[in-house]
Structure 1
């Protein structure tokens, strides 16, 4: 038993070299200092990464059954409110007049280019990162519902805003002129149509006013009366999570088609002009979650990195010494070195 305890006490997984078999030099000291410096930097970075965590992006199949969703709209169209018709229709042939829920306000059209992307293709859009979403996750709603507030008869433009509940299926929300495409007691003359517009907000799901979307702050200006604007969006549910705080929202990609409706020889048109938002929902879900490595995994990772650094530093130093020896000779490399006396070879040399 005593022999086993002695062997355990003397066991060393990493045998050390006796001091009399080592050579000390200025180059070796500098390499040791540099190695320890890089090791401290790596230690600082890894500990900071462990405490701060990391952001994990995953696409998963959306297994949640969703029956309905809301569309948040805030836009201005260059037509009087009394000439505008809004409607929602989906693939199930479910229709309802969006005007019953939206708010209409007579205003003057205003689209300063320094605030709006005018006549752009809306291609420069990036997914909001976790920090931005967590800073701006202030929920809000258009608090006036089903009322036409401050509607001014004869105002040249119409501010349309509100929230529309829709079925969670492929559908379309469109803005057209009254009497065009739908039967109405009022028929809008061609010359009074102008579907120039600016969009302050267009989003799906819970309304987060500070989170940017592809169509936010964009606009289209035209001088054609029979202009058609079509926006095609693919909606992806997106979940942000950090420290138990969950922001469940939706993102979408956008593509556009713009065309001028032509009349036939009889002065009729085959499709109505207007603004059409066509949407469909993807069966996948994007999760953006802040995670942290388990402590055991962190320790193993840190030990592996630091051990690899020490081994690499040893190889680099030996290669550097051999290169100096090849270029300048043995005497140059042994200059300014110090070796302790002792050991079997030193004793034999002294006896001789």
Structure 2
């Protein structure tokens, strides 16, 4: 009898973890482009931050956005610029559905209006600012996450996080908001992002706005430019929180994003002039040969009918 010793390979203790960690390659970061959102509440009442599946709860893990006190109501000149942005975005969204037309506009005539930020106020109102402009850039992991703006400032916890507000219950909430910029990757004025130009007005204090964003990596190669960026599609829903009617949750503005592992490559190809000439000569030669063949057949049939 021959004895065979079975060698069992050693397994890493992490293989037996009931809650496996996210692979290191998933925590590679990507530039989040830019965020410029105005909320109709003072800055000391709201806070903005990100939490994702890596569960990194440090308030400044992904960077820090600027909070600038401002006024939600626009001046006449600001309203003109804002209406132009909304009209352009709605037109492109309704009329141009292909990637070439919607994502990348080679005619830059509208960039003078679309790419220009809302002008500053010339005269400040005689009252305290009633809104907060939250703007800046963040660096996020290439995993699903949740960027949200809600009441109170971010407080990290061992599991998840919370928002604490010293004015809770003392002031009326208003999550009416205006999205001037919301993009991923390097900012390119020619790219029209779906949420830019979005404005929501509400009179309910406990309104919850949710945007579901699907992000996809995109390489653009044209005769004019070569660039890597991100595009996204979005769906949205909103509801009023009412615990008595089983509508639970926390009022605020939530952007639930997911970065797809599949990328898109947009390449503009053109035909060299010499190849065009070769094809043109081939077409002309084919027409000449075909016309000669048809002429021979018609002549033969005519001679046969007339008995020549």
Question: Same fold per TM (> 0.5)?
Answer: yes
For the structure 1 residues 66 and 291, does the alpha-carbon distance in structure 2 shift closer, same or farther, using more than 3 Å as the test? Answer: farther
Q: Distance in 2 between matches of 1:65 and 1:90?
A: 10
User: 2:104 & 2:163 partners in 1: Cα distance?
Assistant: 46
1:104 aligns with 2:82: no
C-alpha distance in 1 between matches for 2:243 and 2:286: 75
Is 1:155 the counterpart of 2:129 in the alignment? yes
- The separation in 2 between residues aligned to 1:288 and 1:163, in whole angstroms, is 26
The answer to whether 1:77 aligns with 2:55 is no
1:23 aligns with: none
**Which structure has the larger Rg over C-alpha atoms?**
1
Q: Which position in structure 2 is the counterpart of 1:164?
A: 138
Q: Match for 1:68 among 17, 30, 47?
A: 30
Summarize the alignment of residues 294-309 of structure 1 with structure 2, pairs less than 5 Å apart.
297-309=275-287
**Paired residues, number:** 248
Q: Would the aligned equivalents of 2:151 and 2:163 in 1 still touch at CA under 8 Å?
A: no
Task: Output one character per residue of 1:226-265: Cα deviation in whole Å (capped at 9) or x when no partner.
Answer: 1111111111111122348412111101111111111338
Residues 189, 130 of structure 1: alpha-carbon distance in 2 compared, 3 angstrom cutoff: same
Residue 94 (structure 1) aligned to one of 56, 60, 71: 56
Deviation sequence 1:92-116 (CA, Å, 0-9, x none): 1123436961111111113647346
- In structure 2, relative to structure 1, the CA distance for the partners of 1:297 and 1:80 (3 Å cut) is same
Give the distance between the partners of 1:212 and 1:248, measured in 2 at CA: 15
3-state SS, counterpart of residue 132 of structure 2: strand
> Take 1:242 and 1:182, find their aligned partners in 2: how far apart are those partners?
46
Identify the residue that residue 17 of structure 1 maps to in structure 2. Answer: none
CA, structure 1 residues 166+311, in 2 after alignment: closer, same or farther (shift >3 Å)? same
Alignment match, 2:204: 224
1:280 positional shift: 0.8
1:178 matched residue in structure 2: 152
Aligned to 2:240: 260
Deviations, residues 185-233 of structure 1 (Å, cap 9, x unaligned): 5142286111111111100011224532101111111111111111111
1:307 is paired with a residue whose SS is helix
Spell out, residue by residue over 1:262-285, the C-alpha distance to the aligned partner (whole angstroms, 9 max, x if none): 1338xx973101100111112222
Task: Map 1:240-319; keep pairs closer than 5 Å.
Answer: 240-243=220-223, 245-264=225-244, 270-293=248-271, 297-311=275-289
Contact 1:116 1:219 in 2 (8 A): no
* Shift in alpha-carbon separation, 1:270–1:318, aligned structure 2, 3 A: same
Q: Please, what TM-score do these two structures have when normalized by structure 1? A: 0.58
Q: Which residue of 2 aligns with 1:233?
A: 213
| Residue equivalent to 2:182 | 202
Mean CA deviation greater in 246-255 or 206-215: 206-215
Contact 2:240 / 2:247 at 8 angstroms: preserved in 1? Answer: no
Q: CA deviation at 1:318?
A: 9.2
The separation in 2 between residues aligned to 1:131 and 1:215, in whole angstroms, is: 21
TM-score by length of 2: 0.65
Q: Distance in 1 between matches of 2:130 and 2:40?
A: 6
Return the alpha-carbon distance in structure 1 between the equivalents of residues 37 and 217 of structure 2: 23
What is the distance in 2 between the residues matched to 1:313 and 1:188? 87
CA RMSD of aligned residues (A): 4.3
SS of the aligned residue for 2:202 comes to coil
Q: Give secondary structure in 1 for the equivalent of 2:138.
A: strand
User: Aligned pair 1:128/2:103, yes or no?
Assistant: yes
TM-aligned CA distance change 1:290 to 1:224, over 3 Å: same
| Separation of aligned partners in 2, 1:192 and 1:262 | 16
